[in-house]
C-alpha cells in the first residue's frame, strides 16, 4: 500500500465539516467483537469455513451468538488455545497445522478457509498470516487459506465482516485495463435482497454487476481501475481502502435503506453508468412507490416518536436518517462504535440539527443520558435491552437489524415494522 493511496482515507476522518460536534467517548463498551460476523458470513459464503484461533471464551461467544445455528453442521469452529500451546510458539503452529489438516480431511468441499485471529492469538502474537501462507502452499489447488482478525481489541461487531472482505480484495483477479466499466456491490446481503438489486440493475441496463462477497468465495469478481463500487453497508472502511488500492472507485450515495435511501443508492450507479433519467424513473418508480406504501403502515406508530441508538453495528447513522426522513421519528442520540465521516457524510447531512451524534462509548454514562432523555424507543444490544425494559424503556434489540433483510425497496416496510413492533407491543399489553 503506497502512501499516496492511503492519504485520502486518512483525510476522510475529518472530511466534511459537520455543523455540530460529535461526542467522542471512551470507557466500558457494551459491544460484540468482530468474531460475531462469522455467524452471518458463513451463511453467505457457502464454500468457506471460518476457523477461529482463540480461547474457550471465543467458542462460547460464537455459541451464544449463533444460538440454534450451531447444531446445523456449521462451517465455523474454534481451535481452543490451551495451557500447553502457551508454553512455546513453534508448538502452537504445529497444533494449528494438525487441526487444519483434520478439518480439511473431514470437509474436503471447503474451498476457502479463513484463519480468524482473536484477542488471545493477537496478544501472544501468533502469526496467523504466516500460518495462512504456509498452509496455503500446502493446500494449493484445493483450498485457499486466508487470515483476518476478528478480535475484540481490533474490531467491533460488523467490523469483522470488513476485515474478512478486506482480505478477499487482494485475491480478486485483475480486471483488464481496457475493460468496460463494471459495478461491484460491496457488503454481505441476504440472497433475496441481493437478487432484487441485481434485477433492478439489469432493468436499468447496468451490467455486469458483481457482489463482494460472492455466494461462493471461490468465485471472486475481478477488480481494476474500471470498477465502480457501491457500499451496501456502512461498516466497510478497510474493504473500501483495499478496493481503492486496486484502482476501484467508490460511488458516493446514501445507504439503501427505505424508499429514498434505496433510490439515491441506485441513482448513484445510474449516474455513473449514464442511465437516462426517464428510464431510471420508470424502472425505479414501482419499487419506490411500494416501499412508501409499506412504510406508511408503520408511520402512524413512529411519527413524532423520539429514538436513541446505542452503538453496535455502524448501521445507526443511516437507520436514524431513514427513520427521521421517511418515518417521521426524532433521533435524540445516535451512537455508533465508529463514524466514517466520508462514507456517512450524506447521511449525516439529513439528520436533524438537534441530533446528538456520539462515537465510541462509556456505557454507564450513556445509560445516564438515556434515562435523562427518556426516548420513546432505544435501540441497543441484548445485554442492555431487558434491563432497560424493566426500567420502563421500550427497546429494539439491535442485532436483529444485522440478521434480517432490511435493505432495498421491498424490505423498507419490514424495516419500519421492526421499530414499530416494540411500540405497538408496549401499547397492547395489559399486564
Partner 1 sequence: MQLSVWTYEGPPHVGAMRVATAMEGMHYVLHAPQGDTYADLLFTMIERRGKRPPVTYTTFQARDLGKDTAQLFQDAARDALERFKPQAMMVGASCTAELIQDDPAGLAEAMRLPCPVIPLELPSYQRKENWGAAESFYQIVRKLADTAITPRGEKRALVNILGPAALGFRHRDDVIEVRKILDTLGIEVNMVAPLGASPADIARIGAADFNIVLYPEIGDEAARWLEKTFHQPAIRTVPIGVGATREFITGVAALAGVDPEPALGDSSSRMPWWSRSVDSTYLTGKRVFIFGDATHAVAAARIAQEELGFVVCGLGCYNREFARDVRAAAKKYGVEPLITDDHMEVEDAIAAASPELVLGTQMERHIAKRFGMPCAVISSPVHVQDFPARHSPQMGFEGANVIFDSWVHPLVMGLEEHLLVMFRDDFEFSDEAGPSHHAAHSPKTAAPKVEIEEPASEGELWTEEASRELKKIPFFVRGKARRNTEAFAAEQGRAEIDIATLYDAKAHYAR
Residue 366 lies near partner 1 (rule: CB under 8 A): no
Query: Where are the extended beta strands (E) located within 278-421?
Result: 306-309, 330-336, 356-360, 377-380, 395-397
Q: Give the phi and the psi of residue 181 in degrees, each rounded to 5.
A: -60, 130
Residue 59 lies near partner 1 (rule: CB under 8 A): yes
CA contacts within 13 A on the Cβ side of 130 = 8
Residue 103 lies near partner 1 (rule: CB under 8 A): yes
Binder among 7, 14, 123, 140 for partner 1 (CB under 8 A): 123
Binder among 60, 215, 371, 374 for partner 1 (CB under 8 A): 60
User: How many amino acids of this chain bind partner 1 (CB under 8 A)?
Assistant: 60
CA distance to 173, 297, 304, per residue, from 418 (Å): 39, 12, 17
Q: Is 23 exposed, middle or buried, given 0-12, 13-18 or 19+ CB atoms closer than 10 A?
A: middle
Binder among 109, 364, 373, 400 for partner 1 (CB under 8 A): 364
Contact partners, residue 384, CB within 8 Å, separation at least 6: 30, 310, 363, 367, 395
Upstream peptide bond of 208 is cis (omega within 30 degrees of 0) = yes
- Let me know: does 310 contact 384? Beta carbons within 8 Å: yes
Task: Report the residue number, 17 or 71, with the smaller CB distance to partner 1.
Answer: 71
Binder among 18, 99, 264, 272 for partner 1 (CB under 8 A): 99
CA distance to 154, 182, 268, 396, per residue, from 230 (Å): 25, 11, 8, 28
> Of 74-82, 187-195, 290-298, 315-323, which segment contacts partner 1 by CB under 8 A?
74-82
Closest approach, Cβ 393 to partner 1, in A, equals 12
Binder among 41, 110, 116, 119 for partner 1 (CB under 8 A): 119
Q: Give the phi and the psi of residue 405 in degrees, each rounded to 5.
A: -70, 115
Residue 409 lies near partner 1 (rule: CB under 8 A): no
Whether residue 58 is annotated as binding a ligand: the answer is yes
Task: Report the residue number, 156 or 227, with the smaller CB distance to partner 1.
Answer: 156
Site for partner 1 in 28-57 (CB under 8 A): 28-36, 53, 55-57
Whether residue 33 is annotated as binding a ligand: the answer is yes
Distance, CA of 212 to CA of 146 (rounded, Å) = 16
Task: Report the residue number, 157 or 409, with the smaller CB distance to partner 1.
Answer: 157
Site for partner 1 in 167-206 (CB under 8 A): none
> Which residue from 24, 25, 33, 32 is spatially nearest to 341, judged by alpha carbons?
24
Binder among 122, 182, 244, 312 for partner 1 (CB under 8 A): 122
- Let me know: does 175 contact 182? Beta carbons within 8 Å: yes
Closest approach, Cβ 281 to partner 1, in A, equals 45
- Let me know: does 119 contact 54? Beta carbons within 8 Å: yes
Binder among 23, 70, 272, 350 for partner 1 (CB under 8 A): 70
Residue 385 lies near partner 1 (rule: CB under 8 A): yes
Closest approach, Cβ 79 to partner 1, in A, equals 4
Closest approach, Cβ 270 to partner 1, in A, equals 40
Residue 402 lies near partner 1 (rule: CB under 8 A): no
Task: Report the residue number, 132 or 231, with the smaller CB distance to partner 1.
Answer: 132
Closest approach, Cβ 379 to partner 1, in A, equals 15
Closest approach, Cβ 123 to partner 1, in A, equals 5
Distance, CA of 412 to CA of 417 (rounded, Å) = 9
Task: Report the residue number, 65 or 168, with the smaller CB distance to partner 1.
Answer: 65
| Ordered alpha helix ranges (H), 303-411 | 316-327, 345-350, 363-373, 382-390, 399-403
Long-range contacts of 99-107, Cβ-Cβ distance < 8 Å, separation of 24 or more: 99/51, 100/51, 100/135, 100/145, 103/49, 103/51, 103/77, 104/139, 104/142, 104/143, 107/49, 107/75
Residue 214 lies near partner 1 (rule: CB under 8 A): no
Residues that constitute the known binding site for [4Fe-4S] cluster: 33, 58, 119
Residues that constitute the known binding site: 33, 58, 119
Which spans of this chain sit near partner 1 (rule: CB under 8 A)? Answer: 27-36, 53, 55-57, 59-61, 63-65, 70-71, 74, 76-83, 85-86, 92, 95-96, 98-99, 102-103, 119-120, 122-124, 151-154, 156, 364, 381-387, 389-390
Amino acid at each position: 500500500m503506497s502512501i499516496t493511496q492511503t492519504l485520502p482515507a486518512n483525510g476522510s476522518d475529518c472530511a466534511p465539516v459537520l455543523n455540530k460536534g460529535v461526542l467522542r467517548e471512551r470507557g466500558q463498551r457494551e459491544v460484540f467483537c468482530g468474531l460475531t460476523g462469522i455467524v452471518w458470513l458463513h451463511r453467505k459464503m457457502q464454500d468457506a469455513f471460518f476457523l477461529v484461533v482463540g480461547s474457550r471464551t471465543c467458542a462460547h461467544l460464537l455459541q451464544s451468538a449463533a444460538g440454534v445455528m450451531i447444531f446445523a453442521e456449521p462451517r465455523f469452529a474454534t481451535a481452543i488455545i490451551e495451557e500447553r500451546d502457551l508454553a512455546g510458539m513453534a508448538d502452537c503452529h504445529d497444533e494449528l497445522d494438525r487441526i487444519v489438516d483434520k478439518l480439511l480431511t473431514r470437509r474436503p468441499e471447503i474451498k476457502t478457509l479463513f484463519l480468524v485471529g482473536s484477542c488471545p492469538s493477537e496478544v501472544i502474537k501468533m502469526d496467523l498470516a504466516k500460518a495462512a501462507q504456509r498452509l496455503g502452499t500446502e493446500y494449493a489447488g484445493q483450498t485457499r487459506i486466508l487470515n483476518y482478525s476478528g478480535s475484540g481489541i481490533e474490531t467491533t461487531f460488523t467490523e469483522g465482516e470488513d476485515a474478512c472482505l478486506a482480505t478477499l480484495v487482494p485475491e480478486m483477479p485483475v480486471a483488464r485495463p481496457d475493460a468496460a466499466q463494471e459495478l461491484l456491490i460491496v457488503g454481505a446481503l441476504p440472497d433475496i435482497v441481493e437478487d432484487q438489486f441485481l434485477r433492478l440493475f439489469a432493468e436499468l441496463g447496468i451490467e455486469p454487476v458483481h457482489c463482494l462477497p460472492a455466494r461462493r468465495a471461490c468465485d471472486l469478481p475481478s477488480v481494476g481501475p474500471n470498477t465502480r463500487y457501491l457500499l451496501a453497508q456502512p461498516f466497510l472502511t478497510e474493504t473500501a481502502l483495499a478496493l481503492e488500492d486496486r484502482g476501484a472507485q467508490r460511488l458516493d450515495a446514501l445507504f439503501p435503506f427505505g424508499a429514498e435511501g434505496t433510490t439515491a443508492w441506485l441513482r448513484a450507479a445510474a449516474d455513473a453508468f449514464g442511465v437516462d433519467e426517464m428510464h431510471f424513473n420508470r424502472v425505479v418508480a414501482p419499487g419506490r412507490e411500494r416501499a412508501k406504501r409499506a412504510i406508511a403502515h408503520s408511520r402512524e406508530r413512529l411519527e413524532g416518536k423520539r429514538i436513541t441508538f446505542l452503538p453496535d453495528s455502524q448501521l445507526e447513522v443511516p437507520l436514524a436518517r431513514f427513520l427521521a426522513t421517511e418515518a417521521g421519528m426524532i433521533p435524540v442520540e445516535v451512537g455508533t462504535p465508529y463514524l466514517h465521516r466520508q462514507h456517512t457524510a450524506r447521511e449525516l447531512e439529513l439528520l436533524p440539527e438537534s441530533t446528538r451524534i456520539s462515537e465510541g462509548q462509556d456505557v454507564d454514562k450513556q445509560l445516564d443520558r438515556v434515562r435523562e432523555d427518556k426516548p420513546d424507543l432505544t435501540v441497543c444490544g441484548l445485554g442492555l435491552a431487558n434491563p432497560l425494559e424493566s426500567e420502563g424503556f421500550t427497546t429494539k434489540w439491535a442485532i436483529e437489524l444485522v440478521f434480517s433483510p432490511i435493505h432495498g425497496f421491498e424490505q423498507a416496510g419490514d424495516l419500519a415494522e421492526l421499530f414499530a413492533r416494540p411500540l405497538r407491543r408496549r401499547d397492547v399489553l395489559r399486564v
